[in-house]
Chains A and B, each alone.
Chain A
Amino acid sequence: MDFLRPASWEEALAAKAEHPTAVPIAGGTDVMVEINFDHRRPDVLLDLNRIGELQEWEVGEETVRLGASVPYTRIIERLRGELPGLALAGHTVGSPQIRNRGSVGGNLGAASPAGDSHPALLAAGAEVEAVSVRGTRMIPVEEFYTGVKRNCLEADELIRAVHIKKADGPQQFSKVGTRNAMVIAVCAFGLALHPETRTVKTGIGSAAPTPIRARAAEEFLNAALEEAGLWDNGRIIPPSVARQFAELVSGAANPIDDVRGSAAYRRHALGVMARRTLGWTWDEYRGNERSARCA
């Protein structure tokens, strides 16, 4: 095995081009587990820890450009305002020790359907900045996942950053597991209200071969909110609408039975999480609207 330690991003790209089978390692919270258990024996490890800019982020007008290796701890501490959904999701990742090392770039690279950041990225809206010596691609996160633990990165590409839309409204994340800490999601759900465009976006985790949006549920809810003028009048969402939304979210999933839970349970739990997160975000939206009107 070779261990490459590029000191700069350019060196890292050159190394990845020269060694397309090299496995990038940043926090190591996935890669090292596979090596420790001999599930994977890469011929080359490409250490990204030395590349400072991967640990940095920039808050722009509309998006946050989040360096691929920014640990969850930093997202929770520093980006809660701009990326509330991702901060909530990040807080459910593993444990403090894992959150000190794990990153969104790693979650995307591993592309596990159970990765905690995916539902939040899908709901907020995000693009993956994939870079190689050939150039840069911006990949909408919806198109990034191609299968169980598979993504659309080319062999010479590395994830430089994720560009995530700054929140323009309330966001929520919910995850089902056997306990609070150190849990791989049985299933997870992210929801973001986008008052500026009067849309709602969702993300389903751990209940299909890849993380997905519940598009039919989103379209239904967008139409229902519009029709009843709820974005303007700030009334509560009728229970029948919330129920229908929950059913459509359940229906969007394509879960399997496995050691963590049954397909039927996952579908059921997703519906519950969809209804709850919708209630939480809508309450927050109405609260904000009220205080805005008072002021």
Chain B
Amino acid sequence: MRLTFTVNGRQQEADDVWEGESLLYVLRERMGLPGSKNACEQGECGSCTVRLDGVPVCACLVAAGQVQDREVVTVEGLADYARQRAEGGCGTGACGTSLDDAKRWQSKPADGRTGEAGAFPQQLSAIQRAFIDAGAVQCGFCTPGLLVAADELLERNASPSDEDIREALSGNLCRCTGYEKILDAVRLAAARTEEAV
């Protein structure tokens, strides 16, 4: 079947999608967006967490056909998504992340250690910057799902308690068990956002 839905603010199409396929498979194998990770395929690990119409879900448990005409945000579009949120919506009408940009997305800080400005000057959202600064990334496999989940937490709760953070991230497993630094990163992102306001 053909599938038309919005990925990171831009309408996308996929053809010849098998009816039993998951959203995760469509994103990774058909759209070329491997940021959402494929691990347990049963909703236990949270590495494939994406936003579906704003709601954090496991992409591996959403049937492809269920996302027809709906909006998905993946980790590749998270920085743009967060920026638009901060700017109060899409003023220019040219928001979102194109598939090409999403595929080339790299987690380079804005000042780029290589000295290059890079194609995307504002590449990192607050939560992404905080993960790097707090050393919350070890092997990195769980990171995309955690970023999406943590970003959503901070969206609805700007100053979460430790319990709030643990609860919000309870669906994301880190096999490196680097949870303390991950909690640090969320606290850091929250504190920085509060300072900025």
Which residues of A approach B to under 8 Å, CB–CB?
A: 1-3, 5, 25, 27-29, 31-33, 35-37, 41-42, 45, 47, 49, 94-98, 100-101, 180-182
Contact = CB atoms under 8 A, between A and B. Distances in A.
B58 A97 contact: yes
B42 A36 contact: yes
Contacts, number: 88
A100 to B, nearest CB: 5
Given A45-B19, A95-B171, 12 more contacts: A1-B18, A1-B20, A3-B1, A3-B63, A5-B68, A28-B61, A32-B63, A49-B66, A95-B43, A98-B61, A101-B57, A101-B62
Contacts of B168: 96
B60 interface: yes
A94 B60 CA distance: 15
A25 B172 CA distance: 24
B149 interface: yes
Contacts of B63: 3, 25, 28, 31-32, 35, 45, 47
A45 to B, nearest CB: 6
A41 B56 CA distance: 27
Contacts of B172: 95
B66 A29 contact: no
B43 A3 contact: no
B117 to A, nearest CB: 36
Contacts of A32: 22, 43, 60-63
Contacts of A181: 170-171
Nearest to B64: A3
28 contacts: A3-B1, A3-B19, A3-B63, A25-B63, A25-B66, A28-B61, A28-B62, A29-B43, A33-B43, A33-B61, A35-B20, A35-B63, A36-B22, A45-B20, A45-B65, A49-B66, A96-B167, A96-B170, A97-B49, A97-B56, A97-B149, A98-B43, A100-B55, A101-B58, A181-B170, A181-B171, A182-B44, A182-B171
Contacts of A42: 20
Contact of B66 (A28, A35, A94, A96): A28
Contacts of A25: 63, 66
Given A37-B42, A41-B20, A45-B19, A98 B171 contact: yes
Nearest to B1: A3
